[in-house]
Amino acid sequence: MESKFFHSLDVTVAVNFIISVIYLITGTLLSLSDRYSFFELNQDLYGEFVSNFKVTLFYLAITELIICAYCFFSKKNECFILVGFFLVLMIGSIYFYSKINNIELDDNLSLFFLYTGVSHIIFGIMSDLKKTHVRSTHSSH
């Protein structure tokens, strides 16, 4: 019974993680377009500010792709705990950015980073639990 629950939880966490990765990459890349952006970029955010912000989001999408490739090929999915932590920290960074530049940013950005960050953290923890479970199962035989 416990094994079925753990497996169901594992599948749910993995599916949610994949959705969060797709959402992060899609959301950041679509933000390059004024027409399809998930986020409302305030009219105070113009010229170089908006260009810098969009480039930062583009780099975030590329970085996510590289990190995902590294973690999956190296089978070190527990690294996503740290990635998720940094995504959650982005909430403070964008808040700081908006205060320093006296610009109001879309509140959906905070929710975006909270969801993607927490999803990464939970996936990393689940991956670590699975590795620990597999090691303990092999060492008991």
User: pTM for the complete prediction?
Assistant: 0.85
Tokens 């190296």 sit on residue: 74
Q: What is the pLDDT along the chain (141 residues), one digit of tens a residue?
A: 568 888 899 999 999 999 999 999 998 888 887 777 777 765 555 566 677 778 888 999 999 999 999 999 999 999 999 999 999 999 999 889 888 878 777 788 899 999 999 999 999 999 998 887 666 666 665
